[in-house]
Amino acid sequence: AFDAGYLGGAKFVHLTGITPALSEDCRAFVLQAAREARASGARVSFDVNYRSKLWGPEEAREFVEEILPDVYLLLAGDEEARALWGSDDESLVRDLARKGPKEVVLKTGSAGSLALVDGEVLEHPAFTVAEVDPVGAGDAFAAGYLAGHLWNLSADDRLRVANAMGALSVATLGDYEGLPDRDELRAFLEGERSLGR
């Protein structure tokens, strides 16, 4: 069972679609965590993180749509959006937002990202990097977007930070080795830092 006491005044609780794919108990746990986090005043962030080896698209889609009323921020990649909903465009983002989330962010890889925030569609281009290893890019993107929230950045700047984090992640071998600290991120965004370490 989920113990809301662990939240300790958290501003966000980040959940992903991997955990509910593992078992019925995990699904129930994630739903309970989302409901209790929202009830406690925390904003729930949910990254679809669809894994076809863990469950089918219909089952995953049903779960995502069940959790949406408790989700503040929904993140999805374009490939998983096509797998679950058959679409990866602005109409899908708007449709998902009508089901509960205040923000829906679509990661579009080398094209950048698309978001619906406060009814406004925003797009931000990707940073051009030489891809070394794509592992961890989605998690880095999510971390950047959430950090942008915690830093009180505008939605456009949150997308920019998220895209930068994704770019830095894929430009280095390993799932987290390329992640910058805040000063390194700022330098990259200002064009002062070359990729790679």
Boundary (domain end) residue, out of 90, 125, 160 = 125
Residues with catalytic function: 139
pLDDT, tens digit only, all 197 positions of the chain:
777 788 888 999 999 999 999 999 999 999 999 999 999 999 999 999 999 999 999 999 999 999 999 999 999 999 999 999 998 888 999 999 999 999 999 998 888 899 999 999 999 998 888 787 887 889 999 999 999 999 999 999 999 999 999 988 888 887 777 788 888 899 888 885 554 44
Judge if 98 and 158 occupy the same domain. no
**Percent of the chain clearing pLDDT 90 (strictly above):** 68
Strand partners, 44: 13
Q: What's the one-letter identity of residue 31?
A: L
- pTM of the shown model: 0.92
Judge if 105 and 177 occupy the same domain. no
Task: Report d(CA 41, CA 85) in Å as an integer.
Answer: 30
Number of domains in the chain: 2
Structural domain includes residue 138: yes
- How confident is the model at residue 86, as a pLDDT? 93
Q: What string of DSSP letters covers 118-147?
A: TTEEEEEPPPP---S--TTHHHHHHHHHHH
Judge if 112 and 154 occupy the same domain. no
Judge if 120 and 138 occupy the same domain. no
Structural domain includes residue 192: yes
Boundary (domain end) residue, out of 125, 158, 181 = 125
| pLDDT tens column, 163-181 | 999 988 888 887 777 788 8
Task: Report d(CA 5, CA 51) in Å as an integer.
Answer: 30
Boundary (domain end) residue, out of 125, 142, 174 = 125
Structural domain includes residue 2: no
Judge if 38 and 88 occupy the same domain. yes
Strand partners, 145: none
- Domain with 102 in it: 7-125
| Average per-residue pLDDT for the chain | 91
